């Protein structure tokens, strides 16, 4: 440990153990990393704002038709809002088109309490393959990914990004374990590595591994690659439920 002693007008440095001072190469490397990250964040946000603004304008007729169809199909609001975990653990409200019956969360816990097989499935996947809460129209919206379109509003607001980890539920935080701190380093995305790697066919743990891998290798080039892959996945409806 290093410390100073004052005597008169002089200061004496006493050192109990060697003090390691970063070399110029290390400092330059760290500065370079900061510059790269700043550039990545800037271009990523610029893409998010530009693309979401254009998409919301072009898709406004789809929003209108979907809203009317949901209201005709079942009781309840057309838009669904729910708290999710954002960057650095900050909670935000995610927007989606409603694909389930009203009070879906309440009905989920009621189902898990009486159906042992469903409880086991939900514990592993945090999803139910044949979820009885999904409406007939909701099933179509999910398979076509139309239900995700309102998340463009979240992207424009800055809560989410076009590409990033899955937006996890607050109640899933405890189950995320060691993956949590790495995953929350990035804004959640409408799409991501998990989206092009099986979507609903993946387990909860597999989705977290994909999100962790994304964070460890994120770059603007990788984001663009995932966006183009997502187009193919959505068109083919791979892993959609």
Token pair, residue 73, equals: 């199909």
**How much of the chain, in percent, has pLDDT values that exceed 90?**
63
Identify the top-confidence range among 11-25, 41-55, 226-240.
Answer: 41-55
Give tens-digit pLDDT for 134-193.
999 999 999 899 999 999 999 999 999 999 999 999 999 999 999 999 999 999 999 999
Q: Could you give the 3-state DSSP secondary structure of residue 21?
A: coil
pLDDT at 51 over 90: yes
Residue 226 has pLDDT above 70, yes or no: yes
Rounded distance, CA 14 to CA 232, Å?
65
Model-wide pTM > 0.75: yes
How many angstroms from the chain centroid is the CA of residue 77?
24
User: Is the pLDDT confidence value at 4 over 60?
Assistant: no
Looking at residue 35, its pLDDT comes to 64
**24 phi/psi in degrees, rounded to 5:** -60, -35
Q: Give per-residue pLDDT as tens, 189-210.
A: 999 998 888 766 788 999 999 9
Instruction: Specify the pLDDT at position 49.
Output: 98
Structure tokens at 185: 């380093």
Place 20 in a pLDDT band, splitting at 50, 70 and 90: low
pLDDT at 37: 77
Mean pLDDT of 61-72: 96
**pLDDT (mean) for 58-66:** 97
- Cα 162 to the chain's mean position, in Å? 9
Q: How confident is the model at residue 34 (pLDDT cuts 50, 70, 90)?
A: low
What mean pLDDT comes out for the span 79-95? 96
DSSP state of 130: T
Reported as a pLDDT band with limits 50, 70 and 90, residue 21 is low
Which residues, at least 6 apart from 158, have a Cβ–Cβ distance to it below 8 Å?
Answer: 45, 48, 187
Rounded Cα–Cα distance for residues 109 and 135 (Å): 18
Mean pLDDT of the residues in the chain = 86
- pLDDT at residue 33, rounded to an integer: 57
pLDDT at 176: 94
Q: What is the pLDDT of residue 126?
A: 86
Sign for the CA dihedral angle at 228, 232, 234, 240 comes to negative
3-state secondary structure 37-87: HHHHHHHHHHHHHHHHHHHHHHCHHHHHHHHHHHHHHCCCCCEEEEEEECH
**Tokens at 184, concatenated:** 């929350």
Q: Which residue has the higher pLDDT, 5 or 92?
A: 92
CA distance 130 to 44: 36
Q: What are 82's two structure tokens?
A: 């729910």
CA 187 to mean position of chain CA atoms: 6
């Amino acid at each position: 440990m290093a410390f100073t002693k004052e005597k008169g007008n002089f200061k004496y440095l006493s050192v109990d153990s060697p003090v390691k001072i970063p070399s110029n190469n290390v400092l330059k490397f760290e500065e370079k990393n900061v510059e790269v990250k700043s550039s990545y964040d800037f271009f990523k946000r610029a893409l998010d704002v530009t693309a979401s603004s254009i998409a919301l304008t072009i898709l406004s007729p789809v929003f209108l038709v979907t809203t009317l169809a949901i209201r005709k199909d079942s009781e309840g609001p057309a838009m669904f809002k729910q708290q999710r975990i954002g960057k650095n653990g900050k909670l935000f409200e995610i927007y989606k088109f409603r694909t389930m019956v009203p009070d879906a969360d309440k009905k989920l816990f009621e189902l898990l309490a009486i159906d042992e097989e469903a409880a086991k499935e939900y514990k592993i996947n945090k999803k139910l393959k044949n979820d009885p809460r999904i409406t007939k129209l909701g099933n179509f919206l999910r398979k076509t990914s139309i239900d995700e379109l309102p998340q463009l509003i979240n992207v424009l607001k800055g809560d989410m990004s076009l590409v990033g980890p899955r937006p996890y539920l607050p109640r899933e935080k405890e189950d995320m374990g060691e993956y949590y701190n790495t995953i929350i380093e990035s804004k959640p995305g409408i799409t991501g590595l998990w989206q092009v790697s099986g979507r609903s066919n993946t387990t909860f743990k597999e989705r977290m591994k994909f999100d962790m891998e994304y964070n460890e290798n994120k770059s603007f080039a990788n984001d663009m690659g995932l966006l183009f892959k997502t187009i193919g996945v959505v068109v083919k409806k791979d892993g959609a439920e």
